[in-house]
């Protein structure tokens, strides 16, 4: 995985890798990093590459410039969709958002401006959400006569609760970073100019942990939220058993006893 995007040349995003962290930036600042079909496909390719790259432990996703993370879908492209193609448009985006949520590696959203519509939906799928003070959030689709199509009606209530989600979804209101933090839409509001440094600091903590254990924790949470507590506990105990069979478990226990940093290999 490199800035050239492995075997694919990217036109709408930028991808880098260093210190076991993959960086993905939506790079369409002239249209506030709006998501068109081509950009969604490039994101799918980039995140699949990150998933398959054994060296990558964490992904940080952001928007280029200082105005927008992702300001929503490309309205010019969306306006000409038919009922059939609009459904396909939605399902294609949902597949990429699902890939991000279930990557098996934490994805940190460094939200540096507008996160509206598809941008808010993409952020909702990320493991951790950090916001700059100027970040703005919203699902304004009802103002355009449409419905959120990249998972907003499903993930937003799961993250902030039904009432707060309904208010945002039916009013189309755009809220500040501080309000997003108040309703738990973001985990932190980071001081101006420190967003990427904070994201990298969290990423480095994750890199130091056992990658298989991190993956299993994420699976337990994501799958457990969709079933009963009893079924979730069964999923958890099964993943505990799998984790106990790994070389990383042996190394983690040994390092603890020997009072030294563990050297995890993801095996």
Spans in the chain with pLDDT lower than 70: 1-7
Q: What is the mean pLDDT of the chain?
A: 94
Distance CA 220, CA 234 (A): 9
Distance CA 185, CA 209 (A): 26
Contacts of 190 (CB under 8 A, 6+ apart): 130, 131, 132, 133, 198
Please tell me the predicted confidence (pLDDT) of residue 2: 44
Q: Annotated catalytic sites, by residue?
A: 121, 141
Please tell me the predicted confidence (pLDDT) of residue 72: 85
What would you report as the CA-atom Rg of the chain, rounded to the nearest whole angstrom?
Answer: 19
Backbone region of residue 2 per phi and psi (left: phi > 0; alpha: psi in -120 to 50; beta: other values): beta
Please tell me the predicted confidence (pLDDT) of residue 7: 57
Q: Which residue has the tokens 């799958």?
A: 223
Please tell me the predicted confidence (pLDDT) of residue 44: 97
Between 1.10.12, 1.10.3470, 1.10.287, 3.20.14, what CATH number should domain 211-257 receive? 1.10.12
DSSP secondary structure letter of residue 106: -
**Per-residue exposure over 106-128, b if at least 16 CB sit within 10 Å of its own CB, e if not:** bbbbbbbbbbbbbbbbbbbbbbb
Give the start-to-end residue ranges of the domains of the chain: 13-207, 211-257
211-257: same fold as 13-207? Answer: no
pLDDT tens-place string over residues 80-131: 888 888 888 889 999 999 999 999 999 999 999 999 999 999 999 999 999 9
Please tell me the predicted confidence (pLDDT) of residue 4: 40
The CATH classification number of 13-207 equals: 3.90.226.10
Element (H, E) at 46: helix 37-52
Going across the sheet that includes 21-26, the strands are: 13-18, 21-26, 58-63, 107-111, 128-131, 188-189
């Amino acid at each position: 995985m490199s800035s050239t995007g492995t075997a694919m040349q990217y036109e709408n995003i930028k991808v880098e890798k260093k210190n076991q962290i993959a960086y993905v930036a939506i790079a369409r600042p002239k249209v506030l990093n709006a998501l068109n079909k081509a950009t969604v496909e490039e994101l799918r390719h980039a995140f699949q590459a990150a998933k398959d790259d054994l060296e990558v432990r964490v992904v940080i996703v952001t928007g280029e410039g200082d105005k927008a993370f992702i300001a929503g879908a490309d309205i010019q492209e969306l306006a000409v969709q038919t009922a059939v193609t609009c459904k396909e448009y939605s399902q294609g985006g949902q597949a990429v958002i699902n890939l991000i949520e279930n990557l098996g590696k934490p994805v940190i959203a460094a939200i540096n401006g507008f996160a509206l519509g598809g941008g808010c939906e993409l952020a909702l799928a990320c493991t951790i959400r950090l916001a700059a003070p100027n970040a703005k959030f919203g699902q304004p689709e009802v103002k355009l006569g449409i419905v959120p199509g990249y998972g907003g009606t499903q993930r937003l209530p799961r993250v902030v609760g039904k009432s707060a989600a309904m208010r945002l979804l039916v009013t189309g209101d755009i809220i500040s970073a501080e309000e997003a933090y108040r309703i738990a839409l973001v985990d932190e509001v980071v001081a101006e100019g420190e967003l990427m440094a904070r994201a990298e600091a969290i990423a480095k903590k994750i890199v130091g942990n056992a990658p298989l254990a991190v993956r299993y924790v994420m699976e337990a949470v994501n799958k457990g939220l969709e079933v009963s507590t009893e079924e979730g506990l069964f999923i958890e105990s099964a993943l505990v058993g799998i984790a106990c069979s790994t070389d990383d478990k042996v190394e983690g226990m040994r390092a603890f006893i020997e009072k030294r940093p563990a050297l995890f290999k993801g095996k």
